[in-house]
């Protein structure tokens, strides 16, 4: 696969991945790299200072980053994905937020709070889990159920609770350290909360309701945008693990650790898994390219194509994990030793695969 990053960048990321995990957050040199290349603003419209990178290239960048370091790629993916919301936020607020050269969005997709209406805006209370990049984020976004001034839940005509998304500044939230999972350690995906926080009306927005600022491809549907970006993270990590197992196995084979028949069995299995991953990777990118060209040409993507994008995103993530699990036994105890690169990649992939969007291969 053609590399997007320079050799120096690839070597730097690989060399610092273990240190990032040990400290529970991205190494300062990796953060500096992300700031210099505007990776936390991948989806910010160009008029606001975004890098002008379009979704096809973003997917390939995220896949390559995931090959090098799952935590870095996941943090870039989730934080830059949250920056996509700038297209729906009042322009004056966006410009204020983006004055910080190290701006980074973090947040949660779940509805974890309430927003009580006031004369000037809202009073917000809530707690949200799994905000990747929380330790260095400058902006937080969160979803809340709307209430009237008496605290009654507002409903639509069918009796469903109304909700909105909100923007908080770093100084307004309390980060609650608690990311204690086996993988993606350096993402620092901690929880955050706000208590009786009064915010003005312009701190609220509704995704897909009204695009404040347009940019090519900005109207790519958010569900499929999320599914595709998450899927390529699993793909990159699976490719990395596959290469590590291959190298480790044949190093052991050269040391006469296996019989000829055993080596042949592994070689056949390895080729099968590589071929399967390559095939579904090609299918995924082809379907995505179809959707992208439809959007550019027709300003819309037909429903059948969107369904295919969603299905192949999930299928790709599932194939990535399945292939890795088939190869795992061939790596011996090296794969189970927590200090090794192989083990870190395995843990990162299996933690990432727990994301709700990738659960069902339907």
> Domain check: are 198 and 234 in the same one?
no
Confidence of residue 154 (pLDDT cuts 50, 70, 90): very high
**CATH classification of the domain holding 237:** 1.20.140.10
> Domain check: are 231 and 199 in the same one?
no
**pLDDT number for residue 1:** 62
Average model confidence (pLDDT) across the chain: 95
> Domain check: are 233 and 345 in the same one?
yes
Inter-residue contact 97 to 103 (CB < 8 Å)? yes
Share of the chain above pLDDT 90, in %: 90
**pLDDT number for residue 4:** 85
Residue 294 in any domain: the answer is yes
Rounded to an integer, the average pLDDT of 89-108 is 94
Rounded to an integer, the average pLDDT of 302-329 is 97
Q: Is the pLDDT of residue 213 over 70?
A: no
**pLDDT number for residue 68:** 98
Rounded to an integer, the average pLDDT of 251-274 is 96
User: Among residues 153, 173, 205, which one ends one of the domains?
Assistant: 205
> How many domains, in total, are found in the chain?
3
Rounded to an integer, the average pLDDT of 37-58 is 92
**CATH classification of the domain holding 158:** 2.40.110.10
Condensed to tens digits (0 to 9), the pLDDT of residues 112-124 reads 999 999 999 999 9
> Domain check: are 238 and 350 in the same one?
yes
Give the whole-angstrom CA distance, residue 21 versus residue 241.
Answer: 17
Give the whole-angstrom CA distance, residue 214 versus residue 45.
Answer: 7
> Domain check: are 80 and 181 in the same one?
no
Confidence of residue 3 (pLDDT cuts 50, 70, 90): confident
Residue 235 in any domain: the answer is yes
Rounded to an integer, the average pLDDT of 27-34 is 98
pTM: 0.95
**pLDDT number for residue 47:** 86
Rounded to an integer, the average pLDDT of 22-30 is 98
Condensed to tens digits (0 to 9), the pLDDT of residues 291-305 reads 999 999 999 999 999
Residue 123 in any domain: the answer is yes
Q: Which of 232, 93, 215, 75 is nearest to 165 (CA)?
A: 93
Residue 239 in any domain: the answer is yes
Rounded to an integer, the average pLDDT of 324-328 is 98
> Domain check: are 186 and 272 in the same one?
no
Range of the domain at 26: 7-87
Q: Is the pLDDT of residue 214 over 80?
A: no
Inter-residue contact 185 to 345 (CB < 8 Å)? no
Residue 211 in any domain: the answer is no
Cβ count near 14 (within 10 Å) = 14
> Domain check: are 82 and 110 in the same one?
no
Q: Name, in order, each residue with C-beta under 8 angstroms of 21's C-beta and a sequence gap of 6 or more.
A: 71, 185, 186, 344
Angle at 145 between CA 144 and CA 147, to 5 degrees: 120
> Domain check: are 55 and 131 in the same one?
no
SS (H, E, C) 120-159: CEEEEEEEEEEECCCCCCCEEEEEEEEECCCCCECECCCC
> Domain check: are 199 and 109 in the same one?
yes
Residue 257 in any domain: the answer is yes
**pLDDT number for residue 358:** 86
Cβ count near 239 (within 10 Å) = 23
Condensed to tens digits (0 to 9), the pLDDT of residues 52-92 reads 999 999 999 999 999 999 999 999 999 999 999 998 899 99
Residue 213 in any domain: the answer is no
Residue 100 in any domain: the answer is no
Inter-residue contact 349 to 234 (CB < 8 Å)? yes
**pLDDT number for residue 31:** 98
**CATH classification of the domain holding 60:** 1.10.540.10
Confidence of residue 359 (pLDDT cuts 50, 70, 90): confident
241, two tokens: 């693990």
User: Among residues 170, 205, 240, which one ends one of the domains?
Assistant: 205
> Domain check: are 180 and 295 in the same one?
no
Confidence of residue 45 (pLDDT cuts 50, 70, 90): confident
* Rg of the chain (C-alpha set): 22
> Domain check: are 246 and 330 in the same one?
yes
Rounded to an integer, the average pLDDT of 167-173 is 97
> Domain check: are 160 and 185 in the same one?
yes
């Amino acid at each position: 696969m053609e590399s997007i990053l320079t050799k120096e960048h690839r070597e730097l990321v690989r060399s610092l991945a273990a240190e990032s995990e040990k400290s529970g957050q991205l190494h300062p040199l990796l953060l500096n790299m992300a700031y210099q290349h505007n990776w936390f603003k991948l989806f910010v419209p160009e008029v606001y200072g975004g890098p002008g990178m379009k979704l096809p290239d973003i997917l390939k960048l995220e896949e390559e980053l995931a090959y090098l370091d799952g935590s870095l790629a996941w943090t870039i993916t989730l934080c830059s994905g949250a920056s996509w919301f700038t297209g729906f936020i009042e322009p004056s607020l966006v410009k204020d937020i983006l004055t910080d050269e190290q701006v980074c969005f973090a947040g949660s997709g779940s509805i974890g709070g309430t927003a009580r209406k006031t004369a000037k805006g809202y009073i917000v209370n809530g707690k949200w889990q799994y905000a990747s990049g929380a330790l260095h984020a400058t902006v937080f976004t969160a979803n809340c159920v709307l209430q009237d001034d008496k605290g009654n839940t507002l409903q639509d005509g069918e009796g469903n609770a109304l909700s909105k998304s909100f923007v908080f500044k770093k100084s307004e939230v309390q980060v609650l350290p608690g990311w204690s999972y086996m993988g993606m350690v350096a993402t620092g995906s901690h929880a955050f909360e706000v208590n009786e926080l009064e915010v003005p009306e312009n701190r609220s927005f509704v995704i897909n309701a009204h695009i404040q600022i347009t940019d090519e491809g900005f109207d790519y549907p958010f569900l499929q945008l999320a599914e595709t970006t998450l899927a390529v993270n699993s793909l990159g990590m699976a490719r990395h693990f596959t290469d590590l197992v291959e190298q480790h196995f044949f190093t052991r084979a050269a040391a006469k650790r296996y019989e000829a028949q055993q080596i042949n069995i592994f070689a056949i299995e390895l080729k099968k898994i590589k071929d399967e991953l390559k095939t579904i990777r090609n299918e995924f990118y082809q379907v995505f390219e179809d959707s992208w060209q439809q959007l550019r040409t027709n300003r819309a993507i037909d429903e059948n194509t969107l369904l295919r994008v969603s299905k192949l995103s999930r299928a790709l993530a599932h194939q990535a994990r399945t292939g890795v699990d088939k190869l795992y036994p061939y790596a011996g105890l090296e794969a189970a030793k927590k200090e090794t690169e192989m083990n870190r990649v395995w843990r990162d992939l299996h933690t990432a695969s727990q994301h709700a969007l990738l659960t069902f291969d339907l």
